[in-house]
Chains A and B, each alone.
Chain A
Amino acid sequence: MLLIDCPCCGVSGEETEFAPGGEAHIVRFGPGSSDAEFSSYLFDRKNPRGVHFERWRHAFGCGKWFHMARSTQTLEVFGVYKADVTTPPQDILDRVEAAKAEGRVK
């Protein structure tokens, strides 16, 4: 069971306190988009064996959504960050790169 730090309220909690929300940073396509764009928005997910940027909600805590960067392979957590950004912060990307350099993730 994952141990997750909520970046909004600062609490460390059991995974059961949180609800997963799938891949992060998906761009929404609405009216006017092509079938391909819309289908990709609705259905295409990376589902990687490795580094995953994903959404979580502190469902049984502060109720806030946030992002987590995690290895789906080793469950290593590279960091958590708030929901109101469209790209991961640089320090987390640096940690991911370091893990890749050390061969811990692909």
Chain B
Amino acid sequence: MSQSHRLETGGVLVDRTRQIKFLFDGKSYSGHPGDTLASALLANGVKLVNRSYKYHRPRGVVSSGPEEPNALVNLGNAGTHEPNIRMTQIELHDGLDATSQNRFPSLEADVGVLNAAASRFYPAGFYYKTFIHPRHAWKYFWEPVIRRIAGLGKAPTHADSAQYEHTYAFCDVLIAGGGVAGLIAAKAAGEAGARVILAEQTERLGGRLLVDDDAEIDGKSARVWLEETIAALEAMDNVTIRLRTCCSAAYDHNYCLLYERSGDRGEAAQVRHRLWRVRTGRVIAATGMIERPIAFNYNDLPGVMLASAVRDYVKLWGVSPGEKTVVYTTNDDGYRTALALAEAGCTVRAILDSRREPDGPLVGAARALGLEIRPNTGIGKAKAKRNKLASIETVDFDNPEAPGTTIECDCVAMSNGWSPVVHLYSHSGGKAMWDEEAVMYRPDPANPPRGRDAEAMVHVAGGAHGALTTDAVVAQAAAVAAEVLAELGMGGTAAVPDVSATAETPTHPVWVTPSAGKAALGGKHFLDFQNDVTVADVALAAREGYESVEHAKRYTTLGMATDQGKLSNINGHAILGKTLGKTMAEVGTTTFRPPYTPISFGSIAGRETGNLFKPVRETALHGWHAARGGDWEPVGDWRRPYRYQQGSEDRDTSIHRECLRVRNTVGVLDASTLGKIIVKGPDAAKFLDMMYTNMMSTLKPGKCRYGLMNNENGFLMDDGVVVRLDEETFLCHTTSGGADNIHGWFEEWLQTEWFDLKVYTANVTEQFTQIAVAGPKARDLLNSLDSDIDFNALPFMSMAEGTLAGCPVRAFRISFTGELSFEFATPVSFGLALWEVLHAKAEELGGGTYGTEAQHILRAEKGFVVIGDETDGTVTAHDVGMGWAVSKKKEDFIGKRAMERSDLTRPDRKQLVGLMTEDPTEVLPDGAHGVEGGKAIGHVTSTYFSPTLKRSIAMALINGGQGRFGEVIEVSTAKNKTARAVICDPVFYDKKGERQDV
């Protein structure tokens, strides 16, 4: 098929010298550069482009812009696939491949159309009414059925191959919309020296002036004025013009999002979509208006279009949407479409006008051309042949039951007046008000969205403000620009161009066209084309008590589709008001929420995908571990080796080898991720006494003390060894994931509560590599190295500073394995060197590395708790048997008062115990519940097979557990399965601690 509907002349946007081949549903068509997918398909006579969401009704293109509810396609393949794209916004390009949605097997023969036959079983609120009972019917019957027949485009199956990015910008004035109002405002702001960003969602500037060019501006034709104005703006360095860029949102404090479709035209673009994050002094929303459709019987047939869209296709793209068109209008503007069609040589069968006495220059021009005008008449019914509009039947508004005239036509151009696009005004709380005279919601100047200093942050210019004619648009836009510039202190006068525009007479809106007989109920008078919501649905919702506009919306799904009711909301609210006997102002409107049109997930993600999603923190030894079988475990943002795999051994084999190595010879562990916070100052000791449950002020320089930290609720939040480096300096170790939080916690108290204390803190976690050397041969290992530290003399829980194998170190004699153990902190630049020496020596002694899982088993054998395993934010120091670490002498510390609360001193709280299964080989599942008399009495917090003890061990929090040693309880291990386990002391190995203190 070769562009059968391309007009001989016209089409200011298309380049007829070049052909573009594209695919729709696998079939090849041709169009021209400048076409949209919609205009190209219409040029090829393709009218049926989609099936509706609910009833699978045949649907065609309705509009020519972002308000399009019907013409959604799947665009691209595999890595470029994107569903639900409006073909009215897709610029035609070589290789474009689009498929229609929501049909099976094809658009022409869709089996889902059976839904339509059953449509009386799908009333408003269908989902609410149907799926309440019986519950299992949803899972086994309704969901599978509905998933197959409903839905929009297909979800992508491949990873997105394109690249996306975010960019940041700042300006004084952000202008949304490059129509005549936007251009006037941009020119005024640009000339005043303001930094201006002008964002236009299409690929062209000029807006409706490109089509409705019957006005003269400053004595020039619209076209000449437009060219001169654009050239002037392009010459200004302080004005940035972005095409294909939609101002999606105006958020708090003048923060706006621009969505730029920079690379959607087939060529190898580096960035497909770009999200602009803009802070602006003011927003001028020059977002124009959207034409309203008219509800009449079968108004959803392919061929029924907005009047403005029909003339856009004729004048912008040189396409005739129909051979024979009926114009159905409630205002003068609809006559422009009739005139454009007539001028292009298309047949206008009739102009039906809702008004009794249409008059004015545009009506006169139509009369002069001899076009038939029928006042007080509408379309009673549209009829289809082969899924397309074939004829209409007129209806006399005064006598709807009287038989009308049948007029054969393949296109209806409808106009029910215009609605200002107030979205940006409303996104951050601005209100819209109903203007009864102009029949539209427009911005309420008394209730603007306010910015940080209570200024009105969004100003509205032109059509978006309700200005209908070019002269009104120009005057209003110039006034708004002057007002904004005055507010910004950049002058306050903008030249108002002299405009001569065609005068228009008032509209007489038609919210629903009367029909004869049963059709009068409105069951096929569609309001929301995308969600298949009819006049009857909204009326039913009102009758069933969904009187609030927000309730009716959710009950009927009116305006809840991807187009967010751009065409349907006002008409729907009018029907609601009519049914309830309320005025439009009383009905009110729903809230507009960003984004204005859907934006891609890719643009939201930007570059924050894959490795850049969340950067990994690496210790100085990361590469060494990776090269030696390190099996990573995420710990906070770090990666730690869970175990080191040798050959193809399984996890348990590695872990058991590593455990026994530490118990029998010597192991080395990368402990660098442990938090290290320096707390320094004359009041450091006093401060730490408040932060820890134990007394830190009595710690002697050079000594270490295990400390517990509470939150103000009295629950454990972190633990670690505190080292007093000197009288005024402490080094606080924290858990691996907790360093940043605890540092923040210290700072919060110092800055906001005890700001009189003389204390500084510094998080030095990443400045040091920390290495643990643990096992009975640890001292042998260290003594074989060159060092000025006497490892034979360094007592347990002490610290020494010196050098080891040429590296500066702090040596801590502390143990988290229960073995003789030393930890060394060395500046990261020495980390790898020290590690390699220690590791080589360990191997000489029959030892080697151990990973985090071996560390966890070794500490569990000793009954040492891990914050986050044994604790969950509801566990106290007493609960885990560490009452010894809670000072009774201190007057106050964080959480002390909370620990006095009656619930925290109950004797039957969950308390930490050990569990030994009667079957020593059975390892309890982590988190398994202890059960007694059918009730849970606690849960397992840590559970392992202990290679040292050659049996399973577990730690658990059990109600009143510390008084129940020796009792046997049941632990649920699977559905209807339990294991018997003895409650015991959680210290399974070396209860006296003789191995670590030698």
B751 within 8 A of A: yes
Does B452 lie within 8 Å of A84, measured CB to CB? no
Does B897 lie within 8 Å of A29, measured CB to CB? yes
Which residues of B in the span 888-904 have a Cβ within 8 Å of any Cβ on A?
Answer: 891-892, 896-898, 900-901
Does A99 lie within 8 Å of B892, measured CB to CB? no
- In the complex, A84 Cα to B753 Cα: how many Å? 8
Q: How far is the CB of A105 from chain B (nearest CB, A)?
A: 9
Nearest chain A residue, comparing its CB with the CB of B890: A31
Chain B hits for A10, CB < 8 A: none
Does B748 lie within 8 Å of A74, measured CB to CB? no
Q: Quick one: which of B454, B752, B901 contacts A74, CB cutoff 8 A?
A: B454
Q: How far is the CB of B882 from chain A (nearest CB, A)?
A: 20
- In the complex, A104 Cα to B429 Cα: how many Å? 13
Q: Quick one: which of B744, B752, B897 contacts A30, CB cutoff 8 A?
A: B897
Nearest chain B residue, comparing its CB with the CB of A19: B744
A-B Cβ contacts below 8 A, count: 67
Does B751 lie within 8 Å of A1, measured CB to CB? no
- In the complex, A29 Cα to B892 Cα: how many Å? 10
Does B748 lie within 8 Å of A21, measured CB to CB? yes
- In the complex, A77 Cα to B896 Cα: how many Å? 37
B450 within 8 A of A: yes
Chain A hits for B115, CB < 8 A: none
Does A104 lie within 8 Å of B454, measured CB to CB? yes
Q: How far is the CB of A86 from chain B (nearest CB, A)?
A: 10
Which residues of A in the span 26-47 have a Cβ within 8 Å of any Cβ on B?
Answer: 28-33, 35, 38, 42
A59 within 8 A of B: yes
Given contacts A74-B450, A83-B752, contact A38 B253 (CB under 8 A): no
Given contacts A29-B897, A31-B896, A31-B900, contact A3 B253 (CB under 8 A): yes
B255 within 8 A of A: yes
Does B896 lie within 8 Å of A30, measured CB to CB? yes
Does B752 lie within 8 Å of A76, measured CB to CB? no
A81 within 8 A of B: no
Given contacts A29-B897, A33-B897, contact A2 B748 (CB under 8 A): no
Given contacts A3-B254, A3-B255, contact A76 B452 (CB under 8 A): yes
Does B712 lie within 8 Å of A83, measured CB to CB? no
B165 within 8 A of A: no
Does A83 lie within 8 Å of B751, measured CB to CB? yes
Which residues of B in the span 664-708 have a Cβ within 8 Å of any Cβ on A?
Answer: none
Does A76 lie within 8 Å of B450, measured CB to CB? yes
Nearest chain A residue, comparing its CB with the CB of B753: A28
Nearest chain A residue, comparing its CB with the CB of B252: A75
Does A76 lie within 8 Å of B453, measured CB to CB? yes
A55 within 8 A of B: yes
B279 within 8 A of A: yes
Does B751 lie within 8 Å of A64, measured CB to CB? yes
Encoded as 1 (CB less than 8 Å from any B CB) or 0, chain A from 59 to 103 comes to: 100011100000000111100000110000000000000010000
- In the complex, A2 Cα to B343 Cα: how many Å? 53
Chain A hits for B748, CB < 8 A: 21, 57, 65
- In the complex, A6 Cα to B679 Cα: how many Å? 25
Does B897 lie within 8 Å of A2, measured CB to CB? no
Q: How far is the CB of B381 from chain A (nearest CB, A)?
A: 50
Chain B hits for A84, CB < 8 A: 751, 755
Nearest chain A residue, comparing its CB with the CB of B891: A31
Chain B hits for A28, CB < 8 A: 753
B251 within 8 A of A: yes
Nearest chain A residue, comparing its CB with the CB of B755: A84
- In the complex, A70 Cα to B748 Cα: how many Å? 21
Chain A hits for B891, CB < 8 A: 31
Chain A hits for B254, CB < 8 A: 3
Residue in A1, A14, A21, A55 with the greatest tally of chain B CB atoms within 10 Å: A1
B747 within 8 A of A: yes
Which residues of B in the span 439-492 have a Cβ within 8 Å of any Cβ on A?
Answer: 450-454
Chain B hits for A38, CB < 8 A: 897-898, 901
- In the complex, A28 Cα to B755 Cα: how many Å? 14
Chain B hits for A59, CB < 8 A: 744
Chain A hits for B452, CB < 8 A: 2-3, 75-77
- In the complex, A84 Cα to B897 Cα: how many Å? 24
B713 within 8 A of A: yes
Does B713 lie within 8 Å of A42, measured CB to CB? yes
- In the complex, A32 Cα to B900 Cα: how many Å? 10
Chain B hits for A42, CB < 8 A: 712-713, 898
Encoded as 1 (CB less than 8 Å from any A CB) or 0, chain B from 256 to 292 comes to: 0000000000000000000000010000000000000
Q: How far is the CB of B273 from chain A (nearest CB, A)?
A: 20
Q: How far is the CB of A15 from chain B (nearest CB, A)?
A: 8
Does A65 lie within 8 Å of B897, measured CB to CB? no
Chain A hits for B451, CB < 8 A: 76
Chain B hits for A21, CB < 8 A: 748, 752
- In the complex, A3 Cα to B256 Cα: how many Å? 12
Q: How far is the CB of B758 from chain A (nearest CB, A)?
A: 13
Chain B hits for A2, CB < 8 A: 252-253, 452
Chain A hits for B755, CB < 8 A: 83-84
Which residues of B in the span 726-761 have a Cβ within 8 Å of any Cβ on A?
Answer: 744, 747-748, 751-753, 755
- In the complex, A17 Cα to B453 Cα: how many Å? 20
Nearest chain A residue, comparing its CB with the CB of B455: A76
Nearest chain B residue, comparing its CB with the CB of A1: B255
- In the complex, A23 Cα to B893 Cα: how many Å? 22
Nearest chain A residue, comparing its CB with the CB of B740: A59
Chain A hits for B279, CB < 8 A: 3
Residue in B254, B454, B755 with the greatest tally of chain A CB atoms within 10 Å: B454
- In the complex, A29 Cα to B753 Cα: how many Å? 12
- In the complex, A99 Cα to B454 Cα: how many Å? 9
- In the complex, A28 Cα to B897 Cα: how many Å? 11
Given contacts A1-B251, A76-B450, contact A65 B712 (CB under 8 A): no
Q: How far is the CB of B605 from chain A (nearest CB, A)?
A: 16
Nearest chain A residue, comparing its CB with the CB of B750: A65
- In the complex, A55 Cα to B753 Cα: how many Å? 12
- In the complex, A33 Cα to B429 Cα: how many Å? 43
Q: How far is the CB of B229 from chain A (nearest CB, A)?
A: 32
Q: How far is the CB of A57 from chain B (nearest CB, A)?
A: 7
Chain B hits for A29, CB < 8 A: 897
Q: How far is the CB of B146 from chain A (nearest CB, A)?
A: 38
Known: A65-B751, A75-B450. 7 other contacts (CB 8 A): A1-B255, A32-B897, A38-B898, A57-B744, A65-B752, A77-B452, A77-B453
B residues neighboring A (CB under 8 Å): 251-255, 279, 429, 450-454, 712-713, 744, 747-748, 751-753, 755, 891-892, 896-898, 900-901
A residues neighboring B (CB under 8 Å): 1-3, 14, 21, 28-33, 35, 38, 42, 55, 57, 59, 63-65, 74-77, 83-84, 99, 104
Listed by A's residue number, 12 A-B pairs whose Cβ atoms lie within 8 Å are A28-B753, A30-B896, A31-B897, A38-B897, A38-B901, A42-B713, A57-B744, A59-B744, A65-B748, A65-B752, A77-B452, A84-B751
Q: Which 4 A-B pairs have the closest CB atoms?
A: A84-B755, A65-B751, A3-B253, A76-B454
